[in-house]
A and B are shown apart, each in its own frame.
Chain A
């Protein structure tokens, strides 16, 4: 990132190949909308390029990029609340071939259906902590709150997700 900041824009390609998949899946699993995730991902890397001078030397690039992504997703959720009826939530699971066996594929499908039952903010929290494997410390820093607060929120949301997940089984 320091090289990009110094004007060596060729290194943006490397940043893109390193983070694009994680960022795309963060948007996709948090918003559950493919077209919006396409646009958000593209827009994010344009912002990274445009605001490269705001990156502080020595800080985590991943953290900086996810902070930009989070701000974008917060705006997106705000927009969603206003125009909720205009959006259709979609299946965002990988293709069957990517998942491997049938049992895993079914489990994945069920998980994503259950995720739809969560509020946007709660879903995004689980995407960061469980799908992206981000540490509670990092999420707390990103959300400007305490680690214990994040931990409580994540645990409560898992509990809520579990209820939705096993209710799907009964239907």
Chain B
């Protein structure tokens, strides 16, 4: 009896067909067709998955934060902006009052700068997750940071309750990866992280920076039972690249 490809596929999919199975044992042409179809079906079912790119993950996480912010309707970031604006207005008023020496101008600029940094730091410590992300982004936009802000970012990365804020802090720290202290802090922080997205991002950043001191913590991560398979895989790849 002539067997169709559809019948062969049904058998591959697990539908029992004794007659077809018996024919397969004796008909080499039929067996060849069966093997070819099986190869294609197996290739599909064992096909590997591509990892979601980080910028997609970050985009979604940031959209979630925006939505949360909308829901909570919190306005305190605006209050901070208003405080900075008041200081700038005060500075402008002082300028028009007559004492316009360049030293005073520099001093006032420093004051504004330092107020901004204190505001960012305090935002990271007190306000909602969305506002903390905005503060982290502000630090990132500054381009250069002082030790205090780096240490605030590290402490945010290690202890913030929101994974989205921790992720934003990591992205901000990536800008300063050429700094040896930042790399050392990231290696230390990796061991304390348990969110797969942050673990994978951190491993990628440290591998790109060719930071070999991360190999030992990576081995520990692979050993840990609670580490997800994706993170283990990323850690194994990282070790291969760095050794």
User: Which A positions have Cβ atoms within 8 angstroms of B?
Assistant: 7, 9-10, 12-13, 16-17, 20-22, 24-25, 28-29, 38, 41-42, 45-46, 49-50, 92-94, 97-99, 104, 107-108, 110-111, 114, 126, 130-131, 133, 152, 155-156, 158-159, 161-162, 165-166
Contact = CB atoms under 8 A, between A and B. Distances in A.
Contacts of B55: 38
Given A49-B63, A111-B47, A161-B40, 4 more contacts: A42-B60, A97-B240, A126-B44, A130-B45
Given A13-B64, A17-B196, A42-B63, A158 B40 contact: yes
Given A20-B52, A92-B50, A94-B50, A158 B64 contact: no
A130 B61 contact: no
Given A13-B164, A17-B197, A152-B6, A46 B43 contact: no
28 contacts: A7-B71, A12-B64, A16-B64, A20-B52, A20-B56, A20-B60, A21-B51, A21-B52, A24-B52, A41-B52, A42-B56, A42-B59, A93-B47, A98-B50, A98-B233, A99-B48, A108-B47, A111-B44, A114-B40, A130-B41, A131-B44, A131-B45, A158-B40, A158-B41, A161-B40, A162-B5, A162-B37, A165-B39
B46 to A, nearest CB: 8
B60 A16 contact: yes
Interface in B49-75: 49-53, 55-57, 59-61, 63-64, 67-68, 71
A75 B162 CA distance: 35
B237 interface: yes
Given A38-B56, A42-B59, A111-B40, A28 B45 contact: no
A94 B49 contact: yes
Contacts of A104: 46
Interface residues of B, number: 39
The 10 residue pairs across chains A and B that have the minimum distance between CB atoms: A130-B44, A94-B48, A155-B6, A111-B43, A24-B52, A45-B60, A25-B49, A159-B5, A42-B59, A155-B9
Given A20-B52, A45-B63, A13 B163 contact: yes
A73 to B, nearest CB: 16
